[in-house]
Amino acid sequence: MRRFSQRSSLVTLSDINITPLLDLAFVLLIIFVITTPLLEQGMELRLPPGGQADQRLAREDIRTVEIDAQGHYALDKVRLPLDQLEFQLARAFRANKDTVVFIRCDRDALVKYFYPVVDRCQRRGINRFSLRCEPIR
């Protein structure tokens, strides 16, 4: 009898406990849900109304210029002064002639800060740009 009771204590468990694995998965999911919106932030802009869907463009052909109400410029979410912005756009256009400049401008800054960007694009030969606005509902 004694031998039988010793054998049952040596039996190994072949079941995998997945509770810690599920806990880890839920924690990672929560972390990604919280941090993803933080990675995609650009300037806080209020775009003017209007607009329709664009044709599909290759992602590498698009350069996005953002202009806020205070006159700060950003190229692909990196803040730059206007002269540096012009230089970067010209360099991108020389490297890729299919470059399209998306201009996102706060509705309170349209005239004062928007026209210098368009003027500098045209002086550098960049004639393909798209003015971004809120879609019509």
Q: Where do the domains of the chain lie?
A: 2-39, 59-132
Q: How far apart are CA 98 and CA 23, in angstroms?
A: 48
**Quick check: 62 and 102 in contact, CB under 8 A?**
yes
Chain position carrying tokens 């256009």: 93
Residue carrying the six token digits 């971004």: 132
Tens-of-pLDDT digits for all 137 residues of the chain? 555 555 555 666 677 788 888 999 999 998 888 877 666 566 676 666 665 555 677 788 888 898 888 888 999 888 999 899 989 999 988 998 888 888 888 877 767 788 888 888 888 888 887 777 666 55
Token representation of residue 73: 């410029």
- The DSSP bridge pattern shows strands 100-105 and 129-132 to be parallel
Q: Which amino acid, 133?
A: C
Q: Rounded to whole angstroms, how far apart are CA atoms 133 and 43?
A: 14
CATH fold for domain 59-132:
Nucleotidyltransferase; domain 5 (3.30.420)
Quick one: pLDDT at residue 69?
84
Q: Say whether pTM exceeds 0.85.
A: no
Exposure of 124 in the CB half-sphere (CA atoms within 13 A): 24
